[in-house]
């Protein structure tokens, strides 16, 4: 991490003239680097391929780079990036939860509380895939083995993830670990960004890789943010969403001029990576009370207690001893309250982890890589008590009394909270996601009717159908059904009221078979034409159960 980190030291000396270095320590540069900011501040830290963050860049350069960041903001909040059209990056990284996952109850089989991802899917040879039994947990969807750390402030780390496996270079994805030219250092954000879309737990499935080209093809045909509540699209990105252009066009407009990645070609892995990384470099949390010289007396006392009696800043700072300047502001190198290194903190059975930032920790609903805090059984106060009880040089010496504990809590819970993050205002503003308005299962209705085997077959209906995709992207599944049995998906234009049949005005049926785990997937059961946009389709499975019809519950879809 900053100043004390030899890597950054080298980088800074490489980038800066000495007079600039002198200014750096007192100036927090802004992303736009608008003149007269001449600090050449490596803040946000970025690879050589991104010259723009240096404020000596020309206004035209800065403008172009801001457009890339805006494209990244759109991509971060677009659920179409995921295989099921249901999971955006932001689904797991909510600003109002400090950039972490605010959804509780995602238990991984390793006992940690992770993030809900996509339903398990496998490749069946071509582009698409069937739903599969969940190998990891009992939930409908897969769960990540660790909780989601924040992306807010992540630009300051040269290596990312709890085990720091992303970065410092951005490799070309060919499996040879060859870095993309100009992205050999400070490119952890680029390196990380291309991972989730092809990760079969988070957003993808087994065959959805960048090298397959399917994701590029899908996005090239998609309209940016087509699924979110359009009235909530942030103003700075409305030029993208109101342009009527697909991602193909927008990527070419935004990157066409670029010396390394210019010209046509629409969506590419490198452009995608740069856009998301640029967006992350706009997420600078530096307007908390501690930055504004606005700590209350109790919060200030909490800060002082951590400094004088706590061991915390040994790991939760880059300098070892963060201090306020005479103006009452913080040294920008200590912005993150993390050293970016891995440590073990005696959480039972947990490996060493990258020290997380303390910024906005008061907004978290889960803590640690383990996701402690699930269902509110573990609060920030419990966390402070955890540390206070440490006898091994990790906690407070002598231990805090209850008044002091309350002051430390006040500092951590409020003194480090940027109100723009808490309130999701610019640059932390974002659209309302389709998945938030339509929680998993909200489109499912009716009850299953079992056959002789007694199985209650369950419809899997988590993927809103997109009209006008070149590849068959809409799928409806069924699970917990009789194995190796004939299964027919019924599609109707209206619902029926049961108790066995739940669809009416049936206009199509789609025959298939369940596999030996009792799963079936109907891939693009009806052609998606624009005539179907906006009108509801109702679906239900009928499955042969020892020659007796059994039925799943039903679901409602609205093609878009
Ligand atoms: C299903 C939930 C989920 C989705 C979707 C998701 N993430 Fe994450 N994110 C995680 C988890 C879990 C981790 C921690 C993984 C680890 O450390 O092994 C993480 C880690 C990160 C980090 C590292 C922060 C740090 O300090 O190390 C960044 C940055 C990030 N994600 C950005 C993104 C971007 C960009 C996308 C979309 C392309 C995305 N995430 C999609 C769950 C998610
Ligand atoms: C030896 C280094 C070290 C020391 C000392 C230390 N921490 Fe930590 N802290 C970590 C690491 C590493 C984690 C993440 C552990 C994990 O998730 O498995 C962490 C996690 C946290 C978290 C949770 C943040 C989140 O995003 O979930 C908070 C809050 C925290 N520490 C506060 C403190 C306080 C307060 C002290 C002093 C009493 C302290 N830490 C001392 C390394 C340290």
Say if ligand 2 is within 6 A of residue 411 CB. no
For 49-88, what is each residue's pLDDT tens digit?
554 445 566 778 778 888 999 999 999 999 999 988 889 9
5-14, 36-45, 325-334, 379-388 — which is least confidently predicted?
5-14
How confident is the model at residue 138, as a pLDDT?
54
Mean model confidence pLDDT for the chain: 85
Atom of ligand 2 nearest to the CA of 351: 18
Q: What is the pLDDT of residues 79-89, one digit of tens each?
A: 999 988 889 99
The backbone torsions φ and ψ at residue 384, rounded to the nearest 5 degrees and listed phi first, read: -65, -40
Average pLDDT over residues 276-292: 91
Distance CA 434, CA 235 (A): 19
State residue 445's pLDDT score.
Answer: 96
More confident residue, 20 or 479: 479
408, 302 Cβ separation under 8 angstroms: yes
What mean pLDDT do residues 233-242 have?
97
Confidence (pLDDT) at 129: 61
* Predicted local distance difference test score (pLDDT) of residue 64: 87
Q: How far is CA 278 from CA 62, 212, 275, 284, 322, in A?
A: 12, 25, 5, 12, 27
- pLDDT value of position 68: 93
pLDDT digits (tens, 9 = 90+) for 151-161: 999 988 889 99
What average pLDDT does the segment 175-204 reach? 91
How far lies 130's CA from each of 6, 493, 523, in Å?
A: 49, 25, 8
Tokens of 553: 């519950």
Q: Is the pLDDT of residue 450 over 80?
A: yes
User: Which two tokens mark 115?
Assistant: 């993030």
Q: Residue of the nearest CA to atom 41 in ligand 2?
A: 312
The pLDDT tens digits of the residues spanning 367-402 come to 999 998 755 578 999 999 989 987 778 899 999 999
**Ligand with an atom nearest the CA of residue 77:** 1
119 vs 92, which has greater pLDDT?
Answer: 92
- Shortest-distance atom of ligand 1 to CA 202: 1
Burial class (CB in 10 A: 0-12, 13-18, 19+), 308: exposed
Q: Which ligand places an atom closest to the C-alpha of 200?
A: 1
The neighbour count for residue 109, using CB atoms within 10 Å, is 12
Query: Do residues 189 and 275 make contact, with C-beta atoms less than 8 angstroms apart?
Result: no
Minimal CA–CA distance to 54: which of 38, 69, 68, 36? Answer: 38
Which pLDDT belongs to residue 255? 97
Would you state the pLDDT for residue 75?
98
Low-confidence winner among 58-67, 140-149, 269-278, 426-435 (lowest mean pLDDT)? 58-67
pLDDT at 7 over 50: no
State if residue 146 touches ligand 2 by the CB under 6 angstroms criterion: no
| Cα–Cα dist 55/43, whole Å | 10
Instruction: Tell which residue, 97, 220, 134, 104, has the closest CA to residue 473.
Output: 220
Instruction: Give the rounded percent of residues in the chain with a pLDDT score beyond 70.
Output: 86
Question: What is the residue with the minimal CA distance to atom 15 of ligand 2?
Answer: 368
pLDDT at 330 over 80: no
144-167 average pLDDT score: 93
Q: Which residues line ligand 1 (CB under 6 A)?
A: 76, 87, 89, 91-93, 114-115, 117, 144, 146, 148-149, 151, 154, 157, 160-162, 192-193, 196-197, 202-203, 276
């Amino acid at each position: 991490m900053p100043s004390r980190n030899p890597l950054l030291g080298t980088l800074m000396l490489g980038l800066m003239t000495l007079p600039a270095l002198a200014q750096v320590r007192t100036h927090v540069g802004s992303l736009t680097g608008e003149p007269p900011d001449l600090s050449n501040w490596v803040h946000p830290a970025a690879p050589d391929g991104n010259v723009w963050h240096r404020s000596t860049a020309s206004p035209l350069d800065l403008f172009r780079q801001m457009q890339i960041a805006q494209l990244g903001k759109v991509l971060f909040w677009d659920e179409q990036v995921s295989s099921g059209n249901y999971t955006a990056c932001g689904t797991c990284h909510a600003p109002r939860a400090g950039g972490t996952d605010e959804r509780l109850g995602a238990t991984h089989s390793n006992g940690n509380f992770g993030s809900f991802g996509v339903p398990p899917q496998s490749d069946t040879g071509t582009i698409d895939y069937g739903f599969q039994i969940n190998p990891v947990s009992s939930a409908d969807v897969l769960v990540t083995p660790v909780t989601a750390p924040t992306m807010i402030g992540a630009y300051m780390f040269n290596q990312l993830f709890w085990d720091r496996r992303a970065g410092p270079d951005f490799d070309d994805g060919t499996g040879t670990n060859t870095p993309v030219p100009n992205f050999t250092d400070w490119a952890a954000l680029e390196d990380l960004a291309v991972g989730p879309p092809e990760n079969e737990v988070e957003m993808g499935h087994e065959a959805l890789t960048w090298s397959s080209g399917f994701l590029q093809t899908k996005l090239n045909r998609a309209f940016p943010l087509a699924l979110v509540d359009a009235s909530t699209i942030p103003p700075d990105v409305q030029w993208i969403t109101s342009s009527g252009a697909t991602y193909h066009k927008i990527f070419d407009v935004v990157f066409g001029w670029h010396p390394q990645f210019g010209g046509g070609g629409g969506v590419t892995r490198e452009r995608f990576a740069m856009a998301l990384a640029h967006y992350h470099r706009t997420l600078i949390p530096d307007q908390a009370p501690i930055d504004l010289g606005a700590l209350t007396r109790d919060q200030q006392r909490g800060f002082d207690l951590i400094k004088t009696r706590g061991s915390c800043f040994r790991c939760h700072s880059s300098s070892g001893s963060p201090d306020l300047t005479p103006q009452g502001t913080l040294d920008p190198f200590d912005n993150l309250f993390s050293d970016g290194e891995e440590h073990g903190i005696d959480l039972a059975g947990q490996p060493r982890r990258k020290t997380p930032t303390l910024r906005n920790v008061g907004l978290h609903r889960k803590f640690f890589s383990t996701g402690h805090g699930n269902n509110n059984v573990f609060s920030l106060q419990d966390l402070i008590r955890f540390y206070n009880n440490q006898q091994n040089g990790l906690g407070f010496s002598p231990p805090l009394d209850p008044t002091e504990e309350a002051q430390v809590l006040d500092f951590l819970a409020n003194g480090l909270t940027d109100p723009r993050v808490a309130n999701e205002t610019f640059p932390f503003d974002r659209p309302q996601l389709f998945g938030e308005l339509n929680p998993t299962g909200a489109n499912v209705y009716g009850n299953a009717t079992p056959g002789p085997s007694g199985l209650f077959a369950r419809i899997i209906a988590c993927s809103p159908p997109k009209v006008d995709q070149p590849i068959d992207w809409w799928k409806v599944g069924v699970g917990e059904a009789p194995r190796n049995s004939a299964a027919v998906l019924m599609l109707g234009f209206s619902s029926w009221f049961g108790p066995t049949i739940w669809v009416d005005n049936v206009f199509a049926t789609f025959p298939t078979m369940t596999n030996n785990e009792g799963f079936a997937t109907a891939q693009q059961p009806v052609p998606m034409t624009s005539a179907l946009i906006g009108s509801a389709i109702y679906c239900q499975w009928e499955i042969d159960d020892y020659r007796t019809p059994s039925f799943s519950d039903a679901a409602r879809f609205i093609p878009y």
